[in-house]
Structure 1
Amino acid sequence: MRKARFQYRHNSALNVIFLLLIGVSFVVAMFLAHRLTEKYVENEFELRKIDVLEETLKPYTEFFQNRVPEISFYQGYLDSSSAIKYVDTVFRKYPFVKKIEFYDTEVSNHRVAGAFRINHFSMAPQAIYDYTRSPTADSIVYNKRKPNSSGSFWNMDEFNNMAAKFSLYVQSIEEGKPLQSADFISIFYHVTHNRITFMNIPREEDMHTYKDLMLKEQEKSPVFQQDIVSFILDPEKLNIRNTHRELYQYIHITPIVYESLNTDPDLLNTELPLTGAFADYKLHFSSSRNHIIREIYHRLVPVALAIVMIYTVLLFIAYLIYRNLNINKKMYSLQYDFINNLTHEFKTPVSVIKIAGNNIKSAKELSDRERFHYGKILDEEADKLNDLMNKLLSFTQIENQSIHIKKERINIPQFIQNLVDSYQIKLPDFKIEYSTRGVTTFRTDPVLLSSIFQNLMDNANKYSLPGQKSLNILVFTEKGNIVFKFRDRGIGIPGNETENVFKKFYRIQSQYNQQGSVGLGLAFCKELINLMNGTISVKSKVGEGSEFTVVLPFEL
């Protein structure tokens, strides 16, 4: 009769669909990561130029806010020698300052030739000093300009602009109204193309004195000192600080009206105007597309690694699910075989008992021979049922740790001989031989050891062909352990199955495995041996037989 094949829901299509979804989503995730990184880098290319501008103009800002107003510390009494020291520190620290003009200015109500005059108020330079860098860049070229015969200087536009702004402010001064911070730049600074001109800020009482000079007719007043310094700047000398070299390959300072003639489509360009005295110039940024692509991939690497890690975890989870499904499938198969075999093992003795019982019940009288025959059948079949139930019960007790080892000293030859005698009475064609080397007594639980022997002896008989039913038992000690070797001439076990034979409910599927086993014998042995702190192993060759080795701690 052909054995019914167990049914189990297969999930191959679901697994394939899941893997396809994982693969497609991985490709989509990498594509989106690349596109988003590309857009991010392009946006950074447009936005980060502000950082470069701020860093590049930082020396100019520091110069404008801190060094230029230092002139006010002299309160108009900056002389040529002090000016040289001041100019020297400026030239050394700020290479973009090309030239400095110092106007040693006098304020009074005197009529002075060439002076800037409003009402009675006069402003005129006593002398003009020009300071430039020497060709060797380690000294200063100094030039002093004096008024000509008419009392005027050439190129007085910058001075006149400052004088006009200051005069208008003096004329509008109100009592009790202090100078606002916003007024400082508009009055005392004059920022034009590549030039910053600054006049030292007078004290408040000096301001009111200047207003009186301007609006009231007085006798000749004292001469008041004012300092005006004009800084001529060179934008080409600004130190470009490329704080984002990964984005900008080339940065140049160009005139604001400059238009790049490079029409290379692989060259990305952007620009940003400078501020202050450099407002006529701009920073021109350019990078090749390959340079940007390298930066895109540089930033994409950690994102890609994160995506790979996420999908690796997903695949590992998928593998665990697949492995659990396979384990469930095997467990379902084992459960299916176990129920079939257990049912068969129970039905066979029950059927035999029922038949024997019916024969006894239907017989009018039984001879001694028939009564002995039926009694033997009932006894043997009851033993089979009892043995099966005992194995199942013992497994439950082992798993619940309710079995306790009761150690006794046993005589090993006598113990084995008793088992051999009982088997040869039941199975006269089963040949059993044993030998012991250097060991006669052993302290252990005789009931548990007897169960181990009986299961291994049953296996040797059950899985041996007729005419080859034999078993050789060898006992010896080794390294503080007692070793039991059971060598048979049975059908053998395939090499890939040797690790599985000790699993519960596992049965090797072969043409010889028709012995009604439920797959509990060797598993039961292994559990008992583990309980006794021992080990069991097997060596086998198909068609030649198997050798089971049991190693237990040796106690005298």
Structure 2
Amino acid sequence: MKDKRAYRKNFLLVTAFVILISAFVIAILLLSYKLTRRYIENEFGSRKVDVLEQTIRPYNDFFQNKIAEITSYNGFLNVTSAAKYSGSVFSKYPFVKNVTFYDLDISNNLKRFSFRTNHLSIYINSVYSFLPGKNSNGLPQVKALKKKKLNDADFNQMSLQLSDYIEDVDTAKISSPDIDLRKNFYNIRPNKISYLNIPLRQELKLYKELLRINKPVFNHKQNMFTFYLDPFALKIRNTNPGLYQSITIRPLVYDPIDNDQEKFTTEIAFPGAFSNYKLYFRTNKSFLTHEIIKSFLPIAFGVMLIYFFLLTIALLIYRNLNVNLKLFKLQYDFINNFTHEFKTPVSVIKIAGSNLQSKNELSERQRIHYGKILNEEADKLNELMNKLLSFTQLENKSIQIKSQQIDLDQFTKSQIESLRIKYPSFNISYTDSDIHAFFTDPVLLGSIYQNLMENAYKYSPPERKELAIKIEKNKKEVIFKFKDQGIGIDQAELNNIFKKFYRIQNQYNQNGSVGLGLAFCKELVNFMHGEISVKSSIGKGSEFVVALPYEH
């Protein structure tokens, strides 16, 4: 019955453990799914920036690089070279639907100007419009525009920006004609970008002087382009197809009337010339749920892997409990057998004693015989008791603090003298303390002394085998300081030296150390309700400080 009850308790313990970890795993899975759903929904709102960056990348390349190529022509583009340039724009950037080219002259001719400020005149020589599609020469379709019917708003705006820039610029600080002056030579409006090539520094200097004085007549060529853009021709690049089911380009004011509760929606506006438009994202909840499950599965797999690992641990615990049960039965049998072994000699001794106490007279032979029996059985009992005591001590492995009053000065000196016998060359100095009556376990304290002094000797170079021992009283503690002149300990090692079997790799530790000395000291100090610490510097030595409670 006892065995069955023990087995049932073991089974219930393991069952409770399995139920607990199962409930914990279920809670983790539910929480993980909830967090994964929240993460995916947050990603739905934040990853749209990636889609925008990839979709708008051709426009950024066009704006930052392709348009800037116009400056390299220094204003000397004609209708043919402008047509070739426009053709390269149409072939690479399909969202450019029309290009208007202005062939301009900048001069001080007061009679010939389309825009004028002070003595500076800007004159439109000709204007051409280029459209996608090639003519017989392989160039874009071209159409000459009449200046009288031309809407000069783009030209006037760029001319005004140029004149304002010339008036404010410090030509001495312009280091290169390739300097980024886009804010002055670009005009960005919805679906339209106008650009005037950046003049050279000497040209800017001449234009600036022309604003103030009238120099001899001169002409400088300038080119201006206006690009008409179609945002709906941008290629949408869905970098997250698992998040976004549908991405469209809509006007910025677009707001669908039917707000379907079964759909997730978000939006982000385009920059620059497309600022009147936005990317509109829409995804069905069922579609997003599929992505949530897809992201959740690796987490669930990891959790289940841990779960099966814990189940394995539970199985091992169950097996261990069964082993313990068997050990318990062996111990129970051992005690029964041992008790039986006690009963037999006790019974024999009892019988022999009774016979010796009987009123009947015994012969000499009988007395000798009963005496022999008593001795033999007593020896058996003594042997059994010694075996039991040894077994108990080995099983418990326990010690007790046997506190007694000691004179610290005399105790310390005796420890030093005993070590000097072993190491005559070891120079140990000690200054008498004012503490004479100290209650502690001298055996345990002696073990601490011996380990720390042995450690100081072992890790000191032959020419610096020195140790200074100092004892102080601090409030309710007695402080023992052991300061050597040894090799020292690296700061990175200080947190490890008190760990069992840890060895610092150096020439002093190649042989004769298993890493138990300082660990044993720490265990002893902790057992005596104290603390141990160390301060050390490489090449300068170490100081071990032991603090033990002071008892009167």
Distance 1:33 1:146, change over 3 A: closer
Aligned position for 2:181 = 184
Contact 1:6 1:333 in 2 (8 A): no
Alignment-mate amino acid for residue 93 of structure 1: K
User: Which of the numbers 248, 264, 269 marks the counterpart of 1:252?
Assistant: 248
User: Is residue 2:72 matched to residue 1:76?
Assistant: no
Distance 1:8 1:97, change over 3 A: closer
User: Which of the numbers 285, 290, 300 marks the counterpart of 2:296?
Assistant: 300
Task: Tell me the CA shift for residue 102 of structure 1.
Answer: 0.9
Distance 1:114 1:87, change over 3 A: same
Task: Tell me the CA shift for residue 225 of structure 1.
Answer: 0.3
Task: Tell me the CA shift for residue 247 of structure 1.
Answer: 1.1
User: Is residue 2:124 matched to residue 1:125?
Assistant: yes
Residue aligned with 2:76, SS:
coil
Aligned-partner Cα distance in 2 for 1:197–1:3: 97
Aligned position for 2:199 = 202
Between the two proteins, the alignment pairs up a number of residues equal to 388
1:135-146 matches, cutoff 5 A? 140-145=139-144
Give me the TM-score of the superposition, normalised by structure 2: 0.60
Task: Tell me the CA shift for residue 165 of structure 1.
Answer: 1.4
Aligned-partner Cα distance in 1 for 2:131–2:174: 37
Task: Tell me the CA shift for residue 188 of structure 1.
Answer: 0.4
Deviations 1:464-510 (A, max 9, x none): xxxxxxxxxxxxxxxxxxxxxxxxxxxxxxxxxxxxxxxxxxxxxxx
Contact 2:84 2:139 in 1 (8 A): no
Contact 1:113 1:152 in 2 (8 A): no
Aligned position for 1:343 = 339
Alignment-mate amino acid for residue 48 of structure 1: R
Residue aligned with 1:215, SS:
coil
Contact 2:129 2:145 in 1 (8 A): no
Alignment-mate amino acid for residue 289 of structure 2: I
User: Is residue 2:226 matched to residue 1:227?
Assistant: no
User: Is residue 2:233 matched to residue 1:237?
Assistant: yes
Stretch moving more, 128-137 or 275-284? 128-137
1:100-499 matches, cutoff 5 A? 100-111=99-110, 115-134=114-133, 140-145=139-144, 147=146, 152-174=148-170, 176-178=172-174, 184-219=181-216, 221-344=217-340, 347-348=343-344, 351=347, 355=351
Aligned position for 1:30 = 29
Task: Tell me the CA shift for residue 261 of structure 1.
Answer: 3.2
Distance 1:42 1:112, change over 3 A: farther
Distance 1:310 1:155, change over 3 A: same
Task: Tell me the CA shift for residue 357 of structure 1.
Answer: 8.4
Deviations 1:341-390 (A, max 9, x none): 343356357646864886699696999xx9xxx9xx99xx9xx99xx9xx
Distance 1:169 1:136, change over 3 A: closer
Aligned-partner Cα distance in 2 for 1:72–1:349: 119
Task: Tell me the CA shift for residue 284 of structure 1.
Answer: 0.5
Distance 1:255 1:139, change over 3 A: farther
Contact 1:194 1:233 in 2 (8 A): yes
Contact 2:238 2:244 in 1 (8 A): yes
Task: Tell me the CA shift for residue 168 of structure 1.
Answer: 2.4
Aligned-partner Cα distance in 2 for 1:366–1:7: 54
Structure 2 unaligned runs (5+)?
389-552
Contact 2:47 2:240 in 1 (8 A): yes
Aligned-partner Cα distance in 2 for 1:86–1:130: 13
Aligned-partner Cα distance in 1 for 2:302–2:267: 35
Aligned position for 2:470 = none
Alignment-mate amino acid for residue 30 of structure 2: F
Aligned position for 2:421 = none
Task: Tell me the CA shift for residue 11 of structure 1.
Answer: 5.3
Deviations 1:90-142 (A, max 9, x none): 11111111111111111112245661122332212211121111289995443
Contact 2:71 2:197 in 1 (8 A): yes
Aligned-partner Cα distance in 1 for 2:218–2:24: 88
Quote the sequence identity (%).
43
Aligned-partner Cα distance in 2 for 1:9–1:258: 71
Distance 1:215 1:11, change over 3 A: same
Contact 1:34 1:300 in 2 (8 A): yes
Task: Tell me the CA shift for residue 287 of structure 1.
Answer: 0.9
Alignment-mate amino acid for residue 209 of structure 1: L
Task: Tell me the CA shift for residue 339 of structure 1.
Answer: 2.2
Distance 1:6 1:152, change over 3 A: closer
Aligned-partner Cα distance in 2 for 1:174–1:34: 63
Aligned-partner Cα distance in 2 for 1:29–1:88: 61
Contact 2:6 2:325 in 1 (8 A): no
Alignment-mate amino acid for residue 204 of structure 1: R
User: Is residue 2:51 matched to residue 1:55?
Assistant: no
Deviations 1:251-290 (A, max 9, x none): 1111101112342211100000000010010011111111
Aligned-partner Cα distance in 2 for 1:4–1:211: 109
Aligned-partner Cα distance in 1 for 2:3–2:249: 88
Structure 1 unaligned runs (5+)?
393-556
Contact 1:131 1:140 in 2 (8 A): no
Aligned-partner Cα distance in 2 for 1:212–1:357: 141
Aligned-partner Cα distance in 1 for 2:23–2:6: 33
Residue aligned with 1:169, SS:
helix
Task: Tell me the CA shift for residue 16 of structure 1.
Answer: 4.3
Residue aligned with 1:269, SS:
strand
Contact 1:133 1:139 in 2 (8 A): no
Contact 1:112 1:124 in 2 (8 A): no
Alignment-mate amino acid for residue 59 of structure 1: P
Deviations 1:49-106 (A, max 9, x none): 1111111111111111111011111111012222222222211111111111111111
Residue aligned with 2:181, SS:
helix
Aligned-partner Cα distance in 1 for 2:128–2:219: 20
Contact 1:249 1:291 in 2 (8 A): yes
Give me the TM-score of the superposition, normalised by structure 1: 0.60
Task: Tell me the CA shift for residue 321 of structure 1.
Answer: 2.4
Residue aligned with 2:211, SS:
helix
Distance 1:355 1:65, change over 3 A: same
Aligned-partner Cα distance in 2 for 1:76–1:21: 81
Distance 1:105 1:153, change over 3 A: farther
